[in-house]
Structure formats: C-alpha cells, structure tokens
Amino acid sequence: MAYGGYSYLDKKYKPGKDDFVVLFWLEGHAKIEKLAEAVASESSVGTWTKIHTMNEKVFREYRARVYKIVKVTENSGFVFVAYPWEHFDQKNVLQFYAGVLGNLFGLKELEECYVLDVKFPEKYQKQFSGPGAGLEGLRKYMGTKKTKRPHVGTIVKPKVGLTPKEFADVAYKAWVGGLDLVKDDENLIDQKFCPWKKRFDLMAKALDKAEQETGERKLYSSNITDSSIDRMLERLDYIKDSGMKMVMLDVYILGIPALMKMVEEAKKAKLFIHAHRAGYAAHHRGNFGVNFAIYERFWRMIGVDQLHIGTGVGKMEGGALLIKRFHELAEEYKIPEKFYLGSLGQTWIKKIKPFFSIASGGMDPGKVDAAVALHGQNVIIQAGGGVHGHPKGTLAGAKAMRQAVDAVVEGVPAPEYARNHKELELALRKWGYIDPNTITTKFKFERQNKRMLTNLVKKKGMAGIRAIWEI
C-alpha cells in the first residue's frame, strides 16, 4: 500500500544509531497502513501524488520509514517511524517541529493524530549543552548535597494584584518559615500594580534578610518572560548585577528561539533557570496533540535547571505512573522503553545533565509523603495555596511544609511528626493526608502487570494509554 505513488512501509528496517525514532497514535478514515504512510510521507520527502522531481537518492536517503505498526483496529494503531539524521537541519529545532510536529496534523484522512514520543540520537544531543547547573549544581549552591532532602518552595498568592511591598512581605515570611524558593507566578511580570523592578528590589532585600536570619541559602525565581527580547535581556542583566541567582522563564509560551537565546544568556551570567510550562497542555491534551515528554526532552537538551513536571498527587492532570516517567526523563541517563505509557527509551549523553523536577499544583503538607514516594527526594515540592491557605497564615504554612519535608527525610510519617509540630498538625487537619502507600501500591501493580498493561493498550489503543496515564 503506497501513498502518493511511493511506499514508506519498511518492516524489515532497523533504526540506526543516528536515526530519530517517533511514536505516533493514528486513527482515521483509511486503513492504518495508509495513514502511517501518509504521515511518513508528509513529514519527510513526499506529497499526495507521484511527482517527476522525486529521484532515487532523495527517496533512498531522506525518506521516513514506517518500520513497525501495532494495529488496534483496521483504521487505528501505533506507528513507529524512523527518520534519518540527514533529514534534519542541525541545531534548528524549529525545522524538526515543522517536519515531525507540523503539517501532518492537518491531513484530512486523520481523525486522531497524537505524537507520543521522540527518541533523539546521541549525535543530535551533542549539539546542545544541557543544564548549566542542573540538579547537582542547585544542591551544591543551596547546601543540600549531603542531606539530599527535597527542596520546598511557594508561589506568592494571589497570582496577581499584590503591591511590591505586600509581595515581598509574603515572601519573607515564607523564607523564614523554612522554604528554599519563592517564585513569581506565570502571569505576573511587570503590571502597574506590581512593577517588576520595584518588586525585584524589595524581594532582594527580603531574601538577604531571610538568609541572615535563617543561615540558609534562599532563591527568588523572578519572571522575566516578555514578548521583547530586549526587555528580557535588560531584566536578566539587572538580576546578574544585583547578585541574585535565578531567572524564571515561561518556556512553552516563549517558544524555542527566544528560549534558546535566553538560556544562553542566563548561562553566561551564571544564573539558574526556573522553567514554567504554562500553556503546554493546549497541545498535550486532546486527540491531536504532542506529549509533554517531547517538550521535556527538548528543554533538558537546551538546558533548564528546574522544570515543572506535575505532581501525580495534586490538582493537575497525570497519575503516578505518567509523572514518574516524566521524573525519570528529568533525572536519569538511561531510560528504558515503556510502550504501555507511550514512551520510548532514551540514553542521554553525559553533558545533558539531570535537572531538578518541580512538583507543583494543588500541593500541601499532607501530600509531601506521597510526593516523595513518587518522585524520590530529588524534587522541589512547591505549594501556593498549601502555604498561604494555612489556618494561621503564610509563616505557619511555610513551617508546616518544611516540617513535612523534615519528617519524610527522618523517615517519620507526617501524622506522627505532627503530634509535636503544631503547624503541620493544623495543615493536616485542614487538608488531610495522602498515605504514600497509595503511590507505592501503584508502582508495585505496574511491576507485576506490565504484560497486562501492554495487552490493554494493544486492545484499546490510545484510550488504554490515557487510562494508564491516570493510574
């Protein structure tokens, strides 16, 4: 079965070490084989009809190859496609987007087209520098390399509306209460009620005061995201000259070119990069979409130091098995394929260092034990409402979060620790407690039922994967 006069099916083909491998879910009005060929054609060398300008060299060396199809119905299935290294413009990430994440979504034969994952060859990775500091660099700066405790942070709430002084007062209470990080929210930058420079100056003073009083390093993640590169660079230089250490970027909103520029400049200035993923779900959730894991891989290669990846226990979508996979993509160097999660394997080269995962969204002290059961201790647990909504206010809320982290490091369940820590006790009374066994039980279920999960996906298709993503 050919598409446009040429066949892209090659089930005898084995991807080479320099090939890109992409996993698609496709469903549509034609047989799955034709849908697969259409996608391979549109994303590489072909078009809808046979053309006189095609030659043997182009077709042989540059075409995409459909080397595996896991058929679910006559008109749907999982499609594995290999693309040759030569197909892509080196270090031009947008050319990759235009090809693999571009026109194919508009093919009228398709009712569903979801790009589940991409495996990047080592040759492609070598073009990127990876995180400047990453997980270990942040731990070294913060003084937690020995304890390996989770970091804990907050987002000043309400998201927008506070004056600079009100904002800094909230931050100061959070820091002296024991938190490591205070950050702007994704939609607070330079509004009239809270101008960026005035807010930053007051935050710098509050941070210095908190460090002196607590004897601990603190971080402020200042949002410099802007439609103007020049304004972002001005803010970045101001942060560098002030002696502060971190910038925040809305990485999905910025897009690849602006992000790569700002990451490059932040690295030169020796600033940590806090990456907020606001907006990604518009492409991640739906029948036509791109999995967050693909963005995460790009952002690790480009070189962010911290990235929101979901919680598995909070208010954002994504169950424990899926979020654990995102954490593995952030922290591990060698990651095996998990077909039932729609996830390809990946081996990172050494310079693409791990970054610090952020668990944020609906977090509170009662979820800390469960979050650590999911992520391990290499995680930044970030709570907004779960700090500022404490019955006794922000200072008590920060203390409760830090107490929950101290408890998990000591191996003491939070409810037991709360008997002698009133702030934690009040937090648990308000928000409740998630037993970490609810998480470990899911991982045990996964280990014992991989074949069953795989068969479920082969039978149910993308619906099966989505069900597993919510476990």
CA nearest to 198, candidates 213, 188, 211: 188
Tokens describing residue 263: 């990451």
Asked if the bond preceding 354 is cis, omega within 30° of 0, the reply is no
What angle do helix axes 229-242 and 196-214 make, rounded to 10 degrees? 30
Nearest one of 361, 359, 365 to 378, comparing CA atoms: 359
276 a catalytic residue: yes
Report how far residue 340's alpha carbon sits from residue 454's, in angstroms, rounded to the nearest whole number.
Answer: 5
Long-range contacts of range 404-410, CB-CB < 8 Å, 24 or more positions apart?
404/365, 404/366, 404/368, 404/369, 405/149, 405/150, 405/152, 405/368, 405/381, 406/149, 407/368, 407/369, 408/150, 408/368, 408/369, 408/372, 408/377, 409/147, 409/149, 409/150, 409/377
Is 4 in contact with 50 (CB distance < 8 Å)? yes
Spatial CB neighbours of 276, under 8 Å, sequence gap ≥ 6: 186, 223, 248, 249, 250, 251, 308
Cα–Cα distance for residue pair 69/77, rounded to 1 Å: 7
Q: Where are the beta strands (DSSP E) in 240-304?
A: 246-250, 272-276, 288-290
Find the largest Cα–Cα distance for the chain.
80
Give the CA-trace dihedral at 239, 241, 245, 250, to 10 degrees: 20
Write down the catalytic residue from 119, 151, 157, 367. Answer: 157
Write the DSSP assignment of 206-225 as a string of letters.
HHHHHHHHHSS--EEEEE--
What b-and-e string marks burial along 37-59, b requiring 16 or more CB atoms within 10 Å of the CB?
Answer: bbbbbbbbbbeeeeeeebeeeee
CA distances from 428 to 61, 149, 301, 423 (A): 61, 21, 39, 9
Dist CA 96 CA 257 (whole Å) = 13
| Cα within 13 Å of Cα(191), Cβ side | 13
**Rounded Cα distance, 417 and 389, in Å:** 20
To the nearest 5 percent, what fractions of the chain are helix, strand and coil? 45, 20, 35
Separation of alpha carbons 285 and 282, rounded Å: 6
Vertex 213: Cα angle to 212 and 218 (nearest 5) = 65
Active site residue 157: yes
Which residue among 183, 276, 375, 442 is the active-site one? 276
SS3 457: helix
Which positions are annotated as active-site residues? 157, 276
